[in-house]
Amino acid sequence: MSDPVASPWNNGHSTPFVELDRADWAALAPTTRLPLRETEIVQLRGLGEPLDLNEVTDVYLPLSRLLNLYAAGARQLHRATSDFLGERAQRTPFVIGVAGSVAVGKSTIARLLRELLARWEDTPRVELVTTDGFLLPNAELNRRGLMERKGFPESYDRRALLRFVAAVKSGAAEVRSPFYSHLSYDIVPDAQIVVRQPDILIVEGLNVLQPPGPGHGLAVSDLFDFTVYVDARTQDIARWYEERFLNLQRGAFSNPKSYFHRYASMTEPEARSRAREIWTEINEPNLLRNIRPTRSRATLVLRKDANHAVSKVLLRKV
């Protein structure tokens, strides 16, 4: 299945975004120095993602500069509001949401932004939390008949995620989140991630841009100061997912402790067939019904071409 990519709307109406080609975007931060070495960039790559110095310099270095400006502006606004209320200003974290499909590269982008933003003098403490930790445990998913819908909005403890981000944003000294293991494909009991008053919190996940559900007045997306949606053609993401599945089958799935160890002995044609089934039955429906419809809620959209490289940047102007 293909989908139009010239614009997220394609309806003839005006857009709230300004669209920039990669070269024009890169030119917006010509004097910003890249603080990462090539070896560090290689370590941040996801499976099958050809992230290189040019991509980081052209796309993510300007984005880190823009985020730095937004964070500084948010601090100034917070101080002004505190002064108006006659209160002592308490520094609160700047919260960034990163959304997009499975296999589109959002996790790599979130890790890269964490490293770039931590190099700015005024935001040295940057924490990254993924929404995987807020998935319901497998036992609960099975009890509710949701195991085949893992990653869909209803498979998360959305109230716990909302409470977590609200606590961090309110300046709590220490906030804990559950820990998710990709090896066991489940929440690890008694294991936690501890976040202690960061300058910036990055929250990465499939559905972080979802609006409030029926009967809920607030969604986690309402607590974000800036949001990024990673976009690509459906057919390209499907191919990336298949290739990633094969790489995992040859690597991580070979571990006897892996939840997916049963796939390790498959032939390549069998593995490709299974990857396509998972994509068609689970990941593509989630993308089309739940994830892509939230794209227009983002502050910034990164548009990727078939080679995983960002070709366009759309920045919200209103």
| Residues 224-255: tens digit of each pLDDT | 999 999 999 999 999 999 999 999 999 999 99
Specify the pLDDT at position 3. 55
The response to whether 103 counts as a known ligand-binding position is yes
The response to whether 129 counts as a known ligand-binding position is no
The response to whether 105 counts as a known ligand-binding position is yes
| Angle at 290 (CA atoms; ends 155, 95), nearest 5 degrees | 80
The response to whether 7 counts as a known ligand-binding position is no
Ranges under pLDDT 70 in the chain: 1-13, 47-48, 318
The response to whether 12 counts as a known ligand-binding position is no
Alpha helices in the chain (DSSP H): 22-26, 38-44, 53-55, 61-85, 106-117, 138-144, 158-169, 234-250, 268-278, 284-286
CA atoms of 308 and 173, how far apart (whole Å)? 39
CA dihedral 107, 110, 111, 112 (to 10 degrees): 120
Q: What is the pTM of this model?
A: 0.93
Specify the pLDDT at position 271. 96
The response to whether 107 counts as a known ligand-binding position is yes
Specify the pLDDT at position 10. 52
Question: Which residue, 141, 113, 107, is CA-closest to 126?
Answer: 113
The response to whether 29 counts as a known ligand-binding position is no
* Domains recognised in the chain with CATH numbers: 17-316 (3.40.50.300)
Specify the pLDDT at position 88. 82
Residue pair 299/227 in contact (Cβ under 8 Å)? The answer is yes
CA atoms of 233 and 125, how far apart (whole Å)? 34
Specify the pLDDT at position 1. 39
Specify the pLDDT at position 215. 76
